[in-house]
Structure 1
Amino acid sequence: MTLAPTRPTHAWPGLEAVPGGPRTAVSAAVARRLFRSAMTRLPLSDDAITVHRPDELFARLGRDGLIGFGEAYLTGAWDSDDLTGFLTVLASHVADLVPRPLQRLRGLTQHRTPTAHRASRDHARDLVAHHYDLSNNLFGLFLDETMSYSSALFDTSTELGTAQRRKIDRLLDLTGVGPGTRVLEIGTGWGELAIRAAARGAVVRSITLSSEQQVLARKRIAMAGHADRVEVDLCDYRDATGEHDVVLSVEMIEAVGHEYWPTYFTTLDRLLAPGGRVGLQAILMPHDRMLATRGGYTWINKYIFPGGFLPSARVVDELTATHTSLRVTDRLSFGPDYAETLRRWDETFLARADDVRALGFDETFLRMWHFYLCYSRAGFASGYLDVQQLLLTGEA
């Protein structure tokens, strides 16, 4: 299914006006030359991208870089019959899209993270709500029956729900969750991990900042018969208390923000009982790209995950060594599985487009969500991004 080009309505005020003025005229001319050079150098077919309104594309690209490039897709200024394939080529060459001599000027042109998008105690709940409180019904349209919104771990089974349970069970096995285990889950999702931990006899406290997730997670946990073993609380991870045998966190570190990574890891250390184990699932990016983009403001930040930023495997090792007694003692990489998970989410989302509209979301939102899923899938398909399950234990 191809989404029709759309011009945004008043619901998207930042997209209504195309940037203009002398500064934009200069930057658009530069963007046009760089874009044409990149399209010539990259292994792309002539029809990889269809530009409907070139003046708008280059005005947005020149003025706002990759944010503008994504916004030009939202407005229908450009399109692609194979959006994921096109974005995968870009992701494979992301370090060289702009000639290296010009990369020295990144600091002059890169947008910086707004203060309101830093995941402090004052802002964290609003940042989480921007995405996760959109609508439980929306997520239910494209997720599988486990309501898992993180990478599945595929094996011989091709069923997404089976692969999601396999991912969770591996993390529970890795950390030794069983009868009587005191588990803290940081980032509830919609409750599947807590349900499966409780089914093993564990006692679980799960914390989230999403009121929508809390409501549905509690409902799903009760329906599974585990309300007596699981608490789901609205709580910032920094305010969590108690002593736990196992601390679990699946794809939550991405929302912490690089300024707060030391706090995050010291909190994990503080909450862990002696001899305890931490199980993390984390999306990771290359260390050099993390350093180059740290503090920047991206299309994903503006439209999907405000305040989010991905760590590298190296920075996890460095932070735990510097700030905690924890060390990574087991690591599983399964980035291609995330590309497959995202492919399935996107195909289901597009197939349910009419149902998305029925929930009150417009055509611009449909293009935004499709772009987000394809953009993310391209990161994993190209090998630029990885997802790993990590076991952290105290120093012997």
Structure 2
Amino acid sequence: MALLDNIRRLSENVRRRQPHTRGEQATKNALILPFLDALGYDIFDPTEVHPEYIADFAKKRPSGPSEKVDYAIYLNGMPIMFFECKSADSEPNLHNGQLQRYFNATPSVKVAVVTNGVRYLFFTDLEEPNIMDGKAFFEFDVLGFSERDVETLEAFSKAFFDAALVRQRAEDIIYTGKVTSYVNELLRNPSESFTRFLLNEINITTGKLTAKRVEKFVPIVKKAIQSTLLEMATRSIKQETYEPAPPVAVTPAAAPPPAPPRAPAESQPDLAKGVVTTAEELEAYDIIQRICADSAMKDKPQVQYLDSVNYFGLNIGNRKKWFMRLFFDGRRKAVVTRLAVERASPLVPGFEIEPAPENVGKSRVYISGLKDIERLRPLVLLAYEEEIRRAEASGGDDDDAPAPAAEALRH
């Protein structure tokens, strides 16, 4: 996806520029205009990106100066989006009704955006036609996004914008988000009513389902759900790894296609030893793989994982050549690398970081969830590249940290 590559480059630039950006005008130039450019709009053409847009009706007072919208985005000669810009060090909230007044009085505009150059809040008129909602239907964080977020953002790019579909897309985003959050919570913590439903459907018990009997089955249902999700995720990875490519017609001048690479056995979950690889860990593995694929190093070994009871480890082909460990089972989620704190700290602004316990790693960064991993991109890349250099320098000999010491990270 071209937009994904554009946004990834933009993210790196924003991460570098944000600490040095002060004031609204600097934020526009350094952060917001590059965002519009990434969406495919010509920021140098005022008939497409109109700065300080003014309408005749927009008066603070009858005899006062006209209110302005920071940017009006035009397509086919009509404004389609309004952008209100805040400075990079402020929250992108609706501080006044100026943007709403413009939106309500401009029928061709179906999207209004408030941004500080990092977070972009998208508004439309779901509650009442032509009246801007008070709550955003979509938020995009340039420093922390998923591929799904970029797919959603693509609907607002120049190539894909369709004013007639904005309302439908907004409803899809909101309702899908609500259902996803509900199902996610339900699968992590099955409710009594959901457990009752399952027990009735599979007819697993006889007699009346009392609250006490249902409570007994809740942990069983939770364990069954986790096993199902793990099986689905593992099956998906195996299909991507092992499924041969569709047959290709081979002409005399063409060589047969190479066999698909097989994932090492070390990257497979070891359930026999009591290790349960969760869907969350596999998703984190997928994100880290994609980040490492962007490394500028010439020879890039494939990222593999080896799960253990204490942590989920990422390595470059051997458990001793690990560069990152994920601790997702404790009270707080943490990422551990072999980078010293003084090297890792500048790469993770805004995150809590501290030295890791002895024999576990050199630095530990606390995160709130999977979305934070993308924000750790510079740290992931450096840890990965340093391990490649370490492996090359040592010729493959590298001591692994004893796993039992990792237990300290779970408390």
Asked which structure has the greater CA Rg, the reply is 2
- Quick one: higher RCO (CA 8 Å, sep 6+), 1 or 2? 1
Tell me whether the two structures share a fold, i.e. TM-score over 0.5. Answer: no
The structure in which a higher percent of residues are helix is 1
Tell me the TM-score normalised to structure 1 length: 0.26
Tell me the TM-score normalised to structure 2 length: 0.25
